[in-house]
Amino acid sequence: MRRKIIAGNWKMNQTPKEAEALIKDLKGKVDSVDSDVVFCVPYVDLKLAVELLEGTSIAVGAQNVHAMDKGAYTGEISALMLKEIGVKYVIIGHSERRQYFGETDESVNEKVKKSLSVGLIPIICVGESIVQRKQGVTIDFVRVQTRIALLGVPAEDAQRLVIAYEPIWAIGTGLTATSGQAEEVCAGIRRFLAEIYDEETASKIRIQYGGSVSGANARELFEMPNIDGGLVGGASLKPEFEKIVNYAPR
Ligand code: PGA
């Protein structure tokens, strides 16, 4: 049985002062729940988040990482730097990074391998545009993204990582994929994983849905058989995040 994982992607929001206030407000409300909970915060908030969340079950994630160990890469942050300050997860290949910062399937693959090698858990984002959905190539497109992201990643490492299926047209738009649409693609991703590895490995890898997840739709989405939680943007900055994390009545 896969444990659900619900991660907040804060994007470029929350100065350290604001981050402190939000973490203090949320941490008691989303701690020790039945799912893994992660706050993916801006780089400058990471250390503070790790300190404030010490002793809780909530983990801290970054939103990007560089693929090299160190060197002349002005403005970049290495996987080891993240690991050393207590970061546990890292979002890789978010569609905003693909769209605005030139992230490619190949760079995603390099970052995934580097992150796994230092013990970080990648949350690999894949997902189609509205044009691709309308053209009926969603599954093919997501298959290629997933395949390239995992090139050279052995099964024992793959079991640790997380894949986030985020249709681009659903991100920040209030247009959520229906639970049926989301399940169809997440089930497709699990089939590719079984082709790349084997059924057992595929059954262990967690696949999140992301794109306008809210308190109102979290339960229906997260109860689908192949959806193992969510990557939550806008709503992760609001009190609503508590409702998303506690989507299932106890
Ligand atoms: P959203 O963002 O929940 O605001 O749609 C999700 C994401 O980009 O990870």
Summarised one tens digit per residue, pLDDT across range 169-191 is: 999 998 889 999 999 999 999 99
Residue 151 domain flag: yes
Q: What is the CATH number of the domain that holds 121?
A: 3.20.20.70
Distance between CA atoms of residues 190 and 19, nearest Å: 35
Residue 140 domain flag: yes
Of 146, 160, 249, 165, which Cα lies nearest the Cα of 213?
Answer: 165
Atom 1 in ligand 1: residue holding the nearest Cα: 233
Is the predicted pLDDT of residue 249 greater than 90, yes or no? no
Please report the pLDDT score of residue 1 as a whole number.
83
pLDDT band at 250 (very low <50, low <70, confident <90, very high): low
Q: What long-range pairs does 70-73 form, CB within 8 A, spacing at least 24?
A: none
Average pLDDT for the chain? 97
Best residue among 41, 166, 243 to mutate for probing ligand 1's pocket (most ligand atoms within 8 Å of CB) is 166
166 labelled catalytic? yes
94 labelled catalytic? yes
Domain membership of residue 167 as a residue range: 5-245
Whole-number Å distance, alpha carbon 12 to ligand 1 midpoint, is: 12
Residue type present at position 137: V
Q: Which candidate in 94, 103, 128, 183 is catalytic?
A: 94
Residue 214 domain flag: yes
Number of domain units in the chain: 1
Enumerate the H helices of 104-207 as residue ranges.
105-118, 130-135, 138-149, 155-158, 179-196, 199-204
Residue 250 domain flag: no
Contact 146, 163 (CB under 8 A): yes
- Of the listed ranges 32-36, 79-83, 88-92, 193-197, the least confidently predicted one is 32-36
Q: Which residues sit with their C-beta closer than 6 Å to ligand 1?
A: 9, 166, 171-172, 210-213, 231-235
Concatenate the DSSP letters of all residues of 11-39 into one string: -S---HHHHHHHHHHHHHHHSS-SSEEEE
Whole-number Å distance, alpha carbon 172 to ligand 1 midpoint, is: 5
